[in-house]
Amino acid sequence: MFDRTVLGVDPGMATLGMAAVARGERRPAVAWAATLRTPSGLSDGARLRRVYAAVRQAIARHAPDAVAMERLMWGRNTASAMEVARASGAILLAAADAGLEVREYAPLEVKMAVAGVGNASKEQVRRALTLILGAPAVPEQPDAADAVAIAVCHLQQSRMRRLAEEAVR
């Protein structure tokens, strides 16, 4: 009925955070989290191939029910945003090849779901994750911790979305 395991992804060309988070009896549990770094000396195509391969490998290894990804928010740095957009495309393709649905969440949605406020700092989100998951479950790497937060957001949102769908039927 609800997604049991989700692969959370914090997209990026240079650094990609990923985390497999499972819905537990009492609270979510981090099954795995990692950060992929792609060498800046590689061509964009080679870096995107590594992003795609890493996501496909994570999907194969952890068998998630869905993929959750942070939605790109365009700011002043359009070059950086373009790299994140390209990486997001590789992630979408990897999920589609595996037959998985991808849900995208704005940073504000993730912060609201995890910390209860949309303008939460990274440290506030980290503290909230520690309360939700337990101290040892939160990765030290910032991009992996962001991926965990995205996955936790999805687990909360997917439950609400499915309950709303059932109420309409």
Active-site annotation, residues: 10, 70, 143
* CB neighbour list of residue 9: distance below 8 Å, 6 or more residues apart: 16, 17, 18, 55, 67, 68, 69, 70, 91, 147, 150
Residue 21's DSSP bridge partners are: 6, 30
Distance of CA 35 to the CA centre of its chain: 11
Find the angle CA(145)-CA(149)-CA(154) to the nearest 5 degrees. Answer: 145
Closest CA to 44 of 97, 95, 85: 85
Element (H, E) at 18: strand 15-22
